[in-house]
Amino acid sequence: MSEKAGTADERVVATNRKALHDYEIEETYEAGLELAGSEVKSIRAGRVNLRDSYAKPVDGELWLYNCHIAAYDPASRYGHDPERPRRLLLHRAEIRRLSGKVQERGFTLVPLRLYFKRSRVKVALALAKGRKVYDRREAIARREAEREMERALRRGT
């Protein structure tokens, strides 16, 4: 189940720009997140960091690691641990398919963005392969060349 680029009923809270630089994206999926109430309040306030986070299959479930959701101060002692692993909600068949690809072919599951969709928190997960340094340089050079062509076309017409 591939996920669309973005619709009108979505409100993006956090993006992981580093993932687009460090990984070659193969497929994207939309997953729900199992959260505590104080985590949802903190996400609404935009206090989320997706940098260095990743998803990993454990015992037939998918878990999101290193996603920092800041503590919500008004929740005081009933708050949450900002770095705790959070369970991702996907169909069982999708979890099996993704865990197979991650274990066999060296893919990684990386969150691209965190957003609200009809008052539910969702994560855009990417099945990605790590880029080597020379691949990154090549991608940057390709992007620069495309920009130059666009500039030349605009000047020419």
Neighbours of 106 (CB within 10 A): 9
**pLDDT, mean of residues 39-50:** 89
Domains and CATH numbers, the chain: 10-131 (2.40.280.10)
Is the pTM higher than 0.85? The answer reads: no
Q: In this structure, what are the phi and psi dihedrals at residue 62, rounded to the nearest 5 degrees?
A: -105, 135
Residue 70 burial (CB < 10 Å; 0-12/13-18/19+)? Answer: middle
pLDDT for 2: 44
Residue-wise pLDDT for 52-84, tens only, equals 899 999 998 999 999 988 888 777 677 777 888
What are the tokens at 29?
A: 């999926």
